[in-house]
Each structure stands twice: as C-alpha cells, then as structure tokens.
Structure 1
Amino acid sequence: MTSAPANPYFFATLEAWLSHLEVAHPLGIDMSLERITLVKNALGLQITCPVITVAGTNGKGSTCAFLEAILIAAGYRVACHTSPHLLHFNERARLQGVAASDAQLLVHFAAVEEARLRVPNTPTLTYFEFTTLAILHLFAQANLDVVILEVGMGGRLDAVNIIDADCAIVTSIDIDHASFLGTTREAIAREKAGIFRAGKIAVCGDPLPPQSLIDYATSLGCDLHLSGRDFHFQGDQQQWAWSGRDKRFSGLGYPALRGANQLLNAAAALAALSALHHRLPVSAQDIRLGFATVELPGRFQVLPGRPTRIFDVAHNPHAAATLYRSLDSMGYFPYTFAVFGAMADKDIGAVLQPFISLVDYWFCTDLPTARAASALAIKAQLLALGVAEERHKDGGIRCFADPAKAYQEAVAKAGEGDRIVVFGSFYTVAGVMAYRNNLVN
C-alpha cells in the first residue's frame, strides 16, 4: 500500500480530500489532457484488461449499468467508473457492482498526489481529473477482467480519454454543454467520437448519427457498428429481440431500468458485447440475468407505494423529452406534482417545455451550488411559458430553499392516486434521496 508522506496536502479522510480538490485548480472545468497526462505518466498508470468507454449526451449511465450487470452475471471481474454521483462520491468507483470504500480510495488519492508532486513545474488538476486518476489507479491494481468508463463531458478532451478504449460507445447526440462542445450535432458528435481508437471497435446507438462521427470512425479504420445498419432491435408488449451482424437474441425480457429510451441503450450495450465476444464471451442467459437485475438510481426510478413517485436526472432538452414520453405512457393520474431544480447554464425553458401541459403543480427549488439557477429564476421561466402562478385554487408554482422542503410539500399536497416527479439536476434528485434516507435511518 502507498503511504502518505508528511505533506500538508495529504489528508486523512476522503471528505477532506474532496473539499481540497474543489478549490485546488483555478477552473472547475479545464478542457485539456496535457496536465492529467503528465501525472498519468508519473504514476506509470496502465490498464491491461479490455476497456469499454461510453460517451453520449444521455444514456451513458444506463449503458454502463447494462454492461456491468451482464458482465458480472457472466462471471467476470468488473470495474465501473461513472459520474457524477448522487449521494456518495464512492458511487463513482464500483468493483463487482459495489462502491469502493473510503479506505480503498485514500490509498490511490495519495498515490496520485505523490505522482503529481514529482512532475516538473507541478501542475494542478481539476476535481474530476484528480479523482479520475485515483479511480483508474485503483482499477489498474485490482486484477480485473474488464473496465467500464463513463465520460464526464464530451469525449475527446475528457479525463477518462487518457485510457485507450478497446470498444468505444456513443449513446446519443444532442445539444448540451454547447459552450464547451459546440452548437451543432455535427460538432458535438465529433467531440464525442474522440474516444474512438484506430482499428478498434466503435458503436453508435443514436438512430440518426451525424456524418462527422461516421467520417471520423472511417478515418481511423474503426470497426463501426451503427444502430439500424449493423444492429437492430424490436419488441412487443411482452418481450424484445436484438440482432447484429452474426448474432441474434430473442425472447429477451425488458430491462429492469424503465424509460422510453432504455432499449436504445440496451441495444448499444449488446452491440458492444457482441463485437467483443472473442475476448469477453457472454451467453443469452447472462444477458437475460443482467437485464433483470440491473439497477441505476435516478433514471426513471419509480418508487413503491402511493402516491406514485418518479426520480429522474433529466436535465437537458433531449433527456426531458424522453422523460415526458415515459411519464405520458404511465396512464391517468388526477394530478402531477413536479419538484424541479437545475443548473443556470442549462436551457431551462426547453427542459420545462414538454411538461407544461402534463404538470399541475410546480415546486421550484434552489440547489446547494453556485452554478444553480434560483427557484425564482425557474419560476420566471415557467411564467414565460404560460404557466399561471395560481393555476389551481391552492396554487400552481411555489419556490423552496432546497429539494427536501419542496418534496415534503409535494407529498403533503398529493393524494394517493396522484404522482410526484422529482427531476432536473443530480442535486435535485440527490437532495430528495438524502431526505428520504434520513427518514428511513
């Protein structure tokens, strides 16, 4: 085990490390691989098992969860790095589906800091860069069969892209993070395709892939698998089927993850596993078991009990449209209550637009980060979209200081036959989840 030297920037707890990293680099997001690559080289970081990297505007977390569940069901030693987390940082590093402990992570935080300090003209690292290196270092020493990596933002310049992917998946492509990635699908697709590697497997699950992605994969000589060309899926009310270039799986049960686009994500995951079959063979039974047991909090997560409660981290227009379709297919509810909070840099009006006719009561919330839009700013967006502040005799739009208070009020007002939708930023869903967990504990 690596021991931390006597240095004021080594910390005894994970919480202290994370607090330090939030202010250690002058920019929260710094799109460059130069600094992290220097520290990676100083660490001697290498991952020798197959690596699957997943990018996309939406569906990344679900696709990673599908891959993880199927590969674990097949008996492989699997690690998965996702971001952001909902309740605990440790969720970002899973080994065999279990979050790494603080003790496991601290060893590798210290290792990254030791390596960073050895680099001439010592570079600073962002929170995401530093923590990604620590998690990758943990994985590199864990004797694994396969590593799954979720891109944080974009692809080409994301921290996880310091590792060469044996198979790279782009799930969906839409406008988000435009100030960093571009303002068109073509530009954004090229950024996401930056995770492709020459001669390696590339999968795109978007049914309308921009030409820029196809052209870049072709220029690299990738083995490119496109939805609708190289793999297909179809289903009825009972089951679904998937077919690829030389494999077919029929009679599949629908994944345990609910939502309008989950078959798109599941199909891309199967395309990747089919292409990797010579290195990581999985059976039809492994696939069925993986889809039946997969879990991912905050993705059209429907809680048991009444009123019906749905948690979803839909925070951009593409994800919001998908959430709307999922909600619309649920059947009749007398009233729908929405608890919503979002980051100020999101297209909040476009996120809210699909729900204007669906939601009866809006509970707008502040969030515990300077990046968030205020509840009053969200209310102004709703008013601009034509929502009446006094939509019903007991109100239509209300503002709250935090998600827990908004959720408490929604529960107090909702009848047993109604539904409550908690959506928007991860902070929104996490705030309500933490409140509910405290009630249980």
Structure 2
Amino acid sequence: MTKGSMPAPSIAAWQEYLNKLNPNVIKLGLERAQLAAARLGVDKVSDDVRVVTVAGTNGKGSCAAMLAAILENAGYRTGLYTSPHIRSFNERIVYGGVMASDDDLIEAFEAVYEVLDEECPLTFFEFTTLAALYIFKNHLCNVLVLEVGLGGRLDAVNILDADIALIPSIGLDHCQILGSTLKEIAIEKAGIIKDRTVTVVTGELPEVCRNEIGAIAARHQAALHVVGRNLKIRVSDDTHFDMRAPIEILNLEVPSLPLINAPLSVTAALLLRLVFKFDISDGAIRAGLMNAHLPGRLERISRDPDVLLDVAHNPPAAHYLAERLNLNPRPRNAVIGMLKDKDIRSTLKEFTDLDLFEHYFVCSLPGERGAESVVIEETLLALGIPRYRIESFDTAAQAYRAALSELPVDSELVVAGSFVTAEEVLKSIDDGQTWQAAEQ
C-alpha cells in the first residue's frame, strides 16, 4: 500500500486509514519497525526507563495489566500497551493509569505517518506499536509494560530490549505462523529474551517449553523464575493467596483478573524492587492486584441480568474459563462466536466436557476470519450437545439479544469465543440495540 495523503486530524479518519492497512495482515520481522522507530526517535529508551515485555499464548494482557496497576499504585508513571482492543482503540495505550486521549492518538499517528516512505511500509500492528512508544516517550513514562502481539522474536514490540521478560503460557496457537510444535513456538516466544534481559519469569509450562526457554535465558545470562519451581504460591481459598517465593507476601486478595497470571506480575514487581531499586511496597502490590482491570477478561458487564464476558478463544483459555465457572456451579447459558482459524473443536470441548451451559446461542462473526454459526453448531452436535440446546444466529448481536430474552431468573449468561464476539456484543450494547451495560 502506498503512503497516500495524510488523513484529516480526526479519530474517524485515522481509523479508516488504519483499517486499510488491514489488522489481519501479519508480516513478521523487525526491519520495517526498527527503521521507522529510529526515524521517530523511539527505537531506544533512556537509561532510567525500564522495559517489561510480555509474550505467550494466553494471559499476556492480564499479566501486563496487573503489573501496570501495581506500578501505578507505587507512584511510577507506567506505559501499558496491550492488544487487541474491544470497545475503542484507546484501550490499547494507557499511561498514568488512563487511556490515551483522541488528541494523543492523532498526534502520534501523524508523527508515525511522517516517517513513512515507500521503503518503510508498516502493518497495522507495527504502525500502532510505534504510536504507543511515541506517546509513552512524550509523557515521560518511567517504565513500559508491553504485550507482544504475536510470537515474540519477530514482533514489532521486540524492537525494544526487555529488562524483564514474562511468558505466562505457551500452547498450540497461530501454528501456521509460529510453528507446529510447542518447541518451535517456545523458541519464538523466547525471542524477547535479549542480552539486556536480567530476569525471565514464566508460568507453569510444558517441559519442552521450559527447557527451551531455560536454555535461551542461560545463553543471555538471565535469571529464570518458574511458577511451581523457584516461584511458589499457595492458594488458601477462593479469595486469598500467598506468595511464598521469591519473597514471602501473605494473604493477597485474589484479583478480578485471572489468578493464574498474578504470580508473574507480583514477581516482576518484586524484581523491579530488588534489582532496579524501585520503591514498590507490599501495599502497592495489594492495591494494584485489586485495581487491575482489562476489558473482556472475566469481565462482569452486568448484574441484572447477570452477564460475564471472557474472550477465551483457544483451548487453554477455554480450559481456564471452564475451571473458574465450575468452581461455582449454577444455571448458565452461553453466547459463542469464533474465528475459523482457531481450534474450534478443542476449545468448545472444554465447555462440553463439564456440561457448563444449558443452552448455546451460537453466531457467525464478520470478516474473512469469522466462522459461520453452522460450523459451531455442527461441532457442538459432534461433541454430544443435543440440537434442541443450540440456536444459531447471523450476528453476535442477534444471538445476544435472543439469549437475554430467554435467560431464566437467577441464571448467568457467558459471552465467549473471540475478541470479535466481545466487540460485537459490546458494540450492540453501546448502540442501544440491547440493554445498557452496568456501571463498572
């Protein structure tokens, strides 16, 4: 795509421009982003700025959000970059605990646009990553918490070297791009470990992944902390847990974001305290865990009716959601839409094995990647769900509206399957096609 003329100074014009870059087009490689970053002056951070990079299959956004909340509560101006967004692009770029304003975005987009030429075309994600780094630099952030978009080694976020690398999980996803084995995918994720990296923190990973990441960390002389090994927690009940190592902090409240990722965020904060002398108190850690929020991750968008939104879109994410739901058995229905390039059968099997939902409202999703509702319906039938418990719809908004109208009293509605499903449902709420979401 040629550079063309600069869009008008409005968010709508820039959204149109960025959509023409096509968010679904993925071109891995750092050369384009590095060249543009150097021209923009964001290819390096100053000596007093720390960088935490988060890669993995699931849990990246939750890890990043909890760590950023801890840092903000400790008084550090933090740049948080996550993707994708659900309601608005502004969700991707947060500094000082507040989403970037439209004016911030327009200024950043114009700055990135100015450094482009025919030898430096950028994908949607590369363009938006550079815009985030520009905003963080302008607002003098002390620490950057950056979520990798895809993979790690060749992702645009990796133009900045990480001081601390977090890898919460590794599973078989995006296999057509990252490799068909866990070993291959682990190598790609571990590409965020560089010579500058002091410490690597991982979740409980398959042995082959743990071995590869351990070897790469050792090669770069980075310390390794692994959940269940030298990073230990104890869950005392549904509401509290203890950090046992590397430093003992007792009676932490379970956050609203997935608990499975909290130990990595807490450990990263402790390492910033120990290695980089950040003034992060235990109180800031407690407050950060409680304040952390990320749209679409175990997000209760209404109490009456009772609606839970989770973007679980692959087997590991669905497994975690299923386990959390199973802790509190109750009547539940589901709205589910998925992308055709995901492992639809294995993802749905996590729900059907536990027979979590009495009724499935399945929907088609828009765009080339969107799966048709009939695919989800046929998969559920093959997994043993009777046809009378499944209804199919052309859109997520239609499925959601029908699910609400048929939701029994004292039942919970779960919306899951994709970021796109969440986006479509929330868009229908914001447009007034259904009831308005409750205040958060």
State the partner residue of 2:69: 69
Task: State how far apart, in whole Å, the 2-side matches of 1:109 and 1:71 are.
Answer: 27
**Change in 2 beyond 3 A, CA 1:16/1:174:** same
Q: CA deviation at 1:435?
A: 2.4
Q: CA deviation at 1:172?
A: 0.5
Q: Which residue identity is paired with 1:403?
A: A
* Contact 1:187 1:212 (8 Å CA) reproduced: no
State the partner residue of 1:349: 345
Task: State how far apart, in whole Å, the 2-side matches of 1:73 and 1:63 are.
Answer: 16
Q: CA deviation at 1:304?
A: 4.3
Task: State how far apart, in whole Å, the 1-side matches of 2:302 and 2:374 are.
Answer: 31
Task: State how far apart, in whole Å, the 1-side matches of 2:403 and 2:113 are.
Answer: 45
Q: CA deviation at 1:348?
A: 0.4
State the partner residue of 1:3: none
Task: State how far apart, in whole Å, the 1-side matches of 2:155 and 2:144 are.
Answer: 17
Task: State how far apart, in whole Å, the 1-side matches of 2:109 and 2:306 are.
Answer: 41
Tell me whether 1:32 sits opposite 2:32 in the alignment. Answer: no
- Structure 1 window deviating more from structure 2 (419-428 vs 17-26): it is 17-26
Q: CA deviation at 1:426?
A: 0.6
Counterparts of residues 385-404 of structure 1 (less than 5 Å): 385-390=383-388, 396-404=389-397
Q: CA deviation at 1:203?
A: 1.1
- Structure 1 window deviating more from structure 2 (347-356 vs 26-35): it is 26-35
Task: State how far apart, in whole Å, the 2-side matches of 1:106 and 1:280 are.
Answer: 33
1:207-226 CA-to-partner distances (Å, cap 9, x unmatched) read: 54521111111111112222
Tell me whether 1:176 sits opposite 2:173 in the alignment. Answer: yes
Aligned with residue 140 of structure 1, among 118, 134, 137:
137
State the partner residue of 1:205: 203
SS in 2 for 1:411: helix
State the partner residue of 1:241: 242
Q: CA deviation at 1:312?
A: 0.4
Task: State how far apart, in whole Å, the 2-side matches of 1:315 and 1:376 are.
Answer: 17
Task: State how far apart, in whole Å, the 2-side matches of 1:280 and 1:342 are.
Answer: 42
* Contact 2:82 2:92 (8 Å CA) reproduced: yes
1:127-166 CA-to-partner distances (Å, cap 9, x unmatched) read: 1111111111111121111111011111111110111111
* Contact 1:181 1:188 (8 Å CA) reproduced: yes
- Structure 1 window deviating more from structure 2 (102-111 vs 8-17): it is 8-17
**Change in 2 beyond 3 A, CA 1:330/1:25:** closer
Q: Which residue identity is paired with 1:253?
A: E
Q: Which residue identity is paired with 2:405?
A: A
State the partner residue of 2:380: 382
Counterparts of residues 50-65 of structure 1 (less than 5 Å): 50-65=50-65
- Structure 1 window deviating more from structure 2 (302-311 vs 262-271): it is 302-311
SS in 1 for 2:374: helix
Task: State how far apart, in whole Å, the 2-side matches of 1:338 and 1:386 are.
Answer: 16
State the partner residue of 1:127: 124
SS in 2 for 1:58: coil
Task: State how far apart, in whole Å, the 2-side matches of 1:97 and 1:26 are.
Answer: 26
Task: State how far apart, in whole Å, the 1-side matches of 2:296 and 2:19 are.
Answer: 24
Task: State how far apart, in whole Å, the 1-side matches of 2:425 and 2:7 are.
Answer: 33
- Structure 1 window deviating more from structure 2 (379-388 vs 408-417): it is 379-388
Tell me whether 1:101 sits opposite 2:101 in the alignment. Answer: yes
Tell me whether 1:186 sits opposite 2:183 in the alignment. Answer: yes
SS in 2 for 1:324: helix
State the partner residue of 1:223: 223
Q: Normalising by structure 1, report the TM-score.
A: 0.91
State the partner residue of 1:420: 413
Gaps of at least 5 residues in structure 2 are none
Q: Which residue identity is paired with 1:42?
A: R
Task: State how far apart, in whole Å, the 2-side matches of 1:240 and 1:82 are.
Answer: 26
* Contact 2:10 2:106 (8 Å CA) reproduced: yes
Quote the sequence identity (%). 38
Task: State how far apart, in whole Å, the 2-side matches of 1:102 and 1:424 are.
Answer: 29
Q: Normalising by structure 2, report the TM-score.
A: 0.91
1:176-215 CA-to-partner distances (Å, cap 9, x unmatched) read: 1011111222111111110111252211123545211111
SS in 1 for 2:387: coil
Aligned with residue 263 of structure 1, among 250, 254, 259:
259
**Change in 2 beyond 3 A, CA 1:87/1:309:** same
Aligned with residue 313 of structure 2, among 315, 327, 330:
315
SS in 1 for 2:335: strand
Counterparts of residues 315-334 of structure 1 (less than 5 Å): 315-333=313-331
**Change in 2 beyond 3 A, CA 1:56/1:344:** same
**Change in 2 beyond 3 A, CA 1:178/1:360:** same
Task: State how far apart, in whole Å, the 1-side matches of 2:262 and 2:241 are.
Answer: 11
SS in 2 for 1:276: helix
Q: CA deviation at 1:256?
A: 2.8
Q: Which residue identity is paired with 2:184?
A: A
> How many residues are aligned here?
421
1:88-135 CA-to-partner distances (Å, cap 9, x unmatched) read: 001100012211111111111111111113xxx522111111111111
Tell me whether 1:299 sits opposite 2:297 in the alignment. Answer: yes
1:288-315 CA-to-partner distances (Å, cap 9, x unmatched) read: 1111222122111234424432110000
* Contact 1:202 1:225 (8 Å CA) reproduced: yes
Q: CA deviation at 1:430?
A: 1.7
* Contact 2:6 2:110 (8 Å CA) reproduced: no
State the partner residue of 1:283: 281
In angstroms, what is the RMSD of aligned CA positions? 1.9
**Change in 2 beyond 3 A, CA 1:405/1:242:** same
SS in 1 for 2:370: coil
Task: State how far apart, in whole Å, the 1-side matches of 2:24 and 2:343 are.
Answer: 22
Task: State how far apart, in whole Å, the 1-side matches of 2:87 and 2:412 are.
Answer: 23
* Contact 1:14 1:102 (8 Å CA) reproduced: yes
State the partner residue of 2:88: 88
State the partner residue of 1:393: none
Task: State how far apart, in whole Å, the 1-side matches of 2:206 and 2:340 are.
Answer: 29
1:326-357 CA-to-partner distances (Å, cap 9, x unmatched) read: 11111232xx2110111110010111112222
- Structure 1 window deviating more from structure 2 (407-416 vs 16-25): it is 16-25
**Change in 2 beyond 3 A, CA 1:304/1:24:** closer
Task: State how far apart, in whole Å, the 1-side matches of 2:251 and 2:381 are.
Answer: 47
